[in-house]
Amino acid sequence: AMIEVTNPSPAFYGVGGARISAQDGATLRLEPTGMLTVLCSVTEQGQGTEAVFAQVAASAVGVTLDKVRVITGDTAVTPYGGGTWASRGAGIGGEAVLLAGRALRSNILDVAAAILKTDKQKLDVMNNEVIDRLTLETKLPLAELGRVAYFRPDTLPMEFQSELTVTRHYTPRQYGFTFTNGIQASWLEVDPDTGFVKLLKHWCVEDAGTLINPMLVDEQIRGGVAQGIGAALYEECLYGPDGQLLNGNLADYLVPMSGEMCDIVCAHLETPTRQSQLGAKGVGEAGTAGAPAAVMNAINDALAPLGARVTRMPFTPERVLQALGKV
């Protein structure tokens, strides 16, 4: 079992004076074409944050996913924020996108009510259109609403000003962290003659709060588990007597590859965090946090009938044989 600290609050670094931002911001803009542009301070580094932000924004505003364009990483145009680190992209950046999306949706309905000369409460946004909340009848495509708001505001009431660009920021304050938790199990074989370990199967059950994109969550966990297995079995910096690193490249520094990996089975519980409306916790490091302990415990369980125990990472074949008294 493991606990991972995610979504760190300002108290994490702020008390030490480090200028590392714990908040993130998002700007959402409805374009005249009906497209939705999302600008967020969290950066995309392959973990899938742009896909997550697109999903959150589409759901919050009421548009289809193909109408969303996400921009990250350009600090000249995105709001200021902490960026990508410490399993915080969906939990903090996603919350900022959600808050901005809900505010923009409300503003869109204000414009629609002014155009249609009706009560805002009677309207909603769904599938790129303003609809009647009760009958679901289409009242106004968002592209037409954008055209009027941007190019024909003279047709709107004199005192009315449309606001179709919204920026919101989010900072977690209630706790120092949001706690992701889970449990992992490893099934493996140890060859007592060679010391080699064969991974047979690995399981991870994780509670990362609200799952926005379950496929991305599964693959982040699998990638983290692979990294944790590397720490448990392979990865080690070796130095010569003169202090020079001897395995400073990936030909000599061992990491697990497809031939060494087993199937990784993922399952989830969903307990949304109460710190945010989105309810998402971090998951980027969860697989790594529990995998080494699960693998090393399984190895020592296999060696227990032989009266052997390995205590130093990584659990290499040489160290397994040393524990067995064979070298």
Could you give the domains of the chain? 23-170 (3.30.365.10), 178-323 (3.30.365.10)
User: What tokens appear for 261 in the block?
Assistant: 């990996």
Mean pLDDT of the region 33-39: 97
- DSSP helix/strand/coil, 108: helix
**Whether 63 contacts 124, CB under 8 Å:** no
Q: What per-residue confidence (pLDDT) applies to 1?
A: 84
pLDDT at residue 14 in the model: 72
What is the per-residue pLDDT for 10? 85
Distance CA 271, CA 196 (A): 39
pLDDT, position 175? 84
Mean pLDDT of 64-86: 92
pLDDT surpassing 90 at residue 52: yes
Residues 6+ apart with CB under 8 A from 26: 38, 39, 40, 41, 53, 79, 93, 96, 97, 99, 100, 167, 168, 169
pLDDT of 17 above 90: no
Each residue of 193-236: pLDDT tens digit? 999 999 999 999 999 999 999 999 999 999 999 999 999 999 99
pLDDT at 99: 98
Band (pLDDT 50/70/90 cuts) for residue 155 is: very high
Per-residue pLDDT, averaged over 183-201, amounts to: 97
Whole-model pTM: value is: 0.91
Q: Output 6 or 202, whichever has higher pLDDT.
A: 202
Predicted pLDDT at 38: 98
pLDDT range class, residue 131, cuts 50, 70, 90: very high
pLDDT at position 83, please? 87
What are 119's two structure tokens?
């009560």
Q: Give the confidence band of 262 by pLDDT, cuts at 50, 70, 90.
A: very high
> What was the pLDDT predicted at 85?
86
- pLDDT interval class at 45 (50, 70, 90): confident
Contact 61, 108 (CB under 8 A): yes
Lowest mean pLDDT across 106-110, 203-207, 285-289? 285-289
The rounded percent of the chain whose pLDDT value lies above 90 is 83
Helix residue ranges, H only, 15-67: 49-61
Query: What token pair was written down for 301?
Result: 């369980």
- Map residue 37 onto helix, strand or coil: strand
The pLDDT score that the predictor gives to residue 16 is: 78
Region label for 73, one of left (φ > 0), alpha (ψ between -120 and 50) or beta (otherwise) = left
Nearest to 52 by CA among 170, 208, 212: 212
**Comparing 173 with 40, which gets the higher pLDDT?**
40
